[in-house]
Chains A and B, each alone.
Chain A
Amino acid sequence: GDSVTQMEGPVTLSEEAFLTINCTYTATGYPSLFWYVQYPGEGLQLLLKATKADDKGSNKGFEATYRKETTSFHLEKGSVQVSDSAVYFCALSRYGGATNKLIFGTGTLLAVQP
């Protein structure tokens, strides 16, 4: 079945460091790919998405490119801030039938230190 694999956390970085969180997926067809972020004590917020191969999603300085050849959707940011500390979830949805449920990875905790 469909699945998402994320790198294990926690990831601890200093402010202004470069961030990469790896995400790979297994799915038939052409899923849409998402990154959601969960700040402490809050719900899930969409960070960015990409709906077809080679698309790049971007938001708030974060980027991820949909790579079909490597089935990957790695999250990157050039310079992280303390306020980026959160749990990041990679997810996919594959439209089929009457639903497009989201399948999530395990989440990666990012801790940014000043």
Chain B
Amino acid sequence: EPEVTQTPSHQVTQMGQEVILRCVPISNHLYFYWYRQILGQKVEFLVSFYNNEISEKSEIFDDQFSVERPDGSNFTLKIRSTKLEDSAMYFCASILLAGNTDTQYFGPGTRLTVL
């Protein structure tokens, strides 16, 4: 069964450093998402991406964040200058179409630790 993959599984970085989290969505899916889950808290929407542009972003997704689909398979989340509060699990998700009945499929997540 096709699945969403994410690398790395765990990333440790120093505050102020740039990080890039990578995702490979399911191959025929058209909509892509990033969510994050701070330890012990709810999963929060960050951004959605379609047709090579952001379709929606949350208030969390400020100028420090950017997303890109550099080729036909990868979908990346970049944090320009990490802060301690960026420490979280980051989940990528994809969906074939953004219809009301469709299911988002999640990757296993990347745990980001900012020291």
B91 at the interface (CB under 8 A from A): yes
* B99 contacts A100, C-beta separation under 8 Å: yes
Tell me which residues across on chain B come within 8 A of A69, comparing CB atoms: none
With A43-B106, A44-B106, A93-B100 as given contacts, are A98 and B55 in contact (CB-CB < 8 Å)? Answer: yes
Q: Which residues of A contact B101 (CB under 8 A)?
A: 32, 51
Residue of A95, A101, A106 ringed by the most chain B CB atoms within 10 A: A101
Q: Which residues of B contact A99 (CB under 8 A)?
A: 31, 48, 50, 55-56, 98
Distance between Cα atoms of A103 and B46 in the complex (Å): 11
Q: Is the CB of B41 within 8 A of A106?
A: yes
Interface residues of A in 33-60 (CB under 8 A from B): 34, 36, 42-46, 49, 51
Number of residues from B at the complex interface, CB < 8 A: 27
CB distance from B12 to the nearest CB of A (A): 17
Which residues of chain B from 26 to 41 have a CB within 8 Å of any chain A CB? 31, 33, 35, 41
Determine whether the beta carbon of B108 is less than 8 Å from that of A97: no
Which residues of B61-115 have CB atoms within 8 Å of chain A's CB atoms?
A: 91, 93, 95, 98-109
What are 28 A-B interface contacts by the 8 Å CB criterion?
Answer: A30-B100, A31-B100, A32-B100, A32-B101, A34-B103, A36-B106, A43-B91, A43-B107, A43-B108, A45-B106, A49-B103, A94-B100, A97-B55, A98-B50, A98-B55, A98-B56, A99-B31, A99-B50, A99-B55, A99-B56, A100-B95, A100-B99, A101-B45, A102-B33, A102-B93, A102-B104, A103-B45, A107-B42
10 tightest Cβ-Cβ pairs between the two chains A and B: A95-B100, A98-B55, A43-B108, A99-B48, A44-B106, A104-B43, A99-B56, A101-B45, A51-B101, A106-B42
Binding site for A on B (CB under 8 A): 31, 33, 35, 41-45, 48, 50, 55-56, 91, 93, 95, 98-109
Residues of A within 8 A of B (CB): 30-32, 34, 36, 42-46, 49, 51, 89, 91, 93-95, 97-107
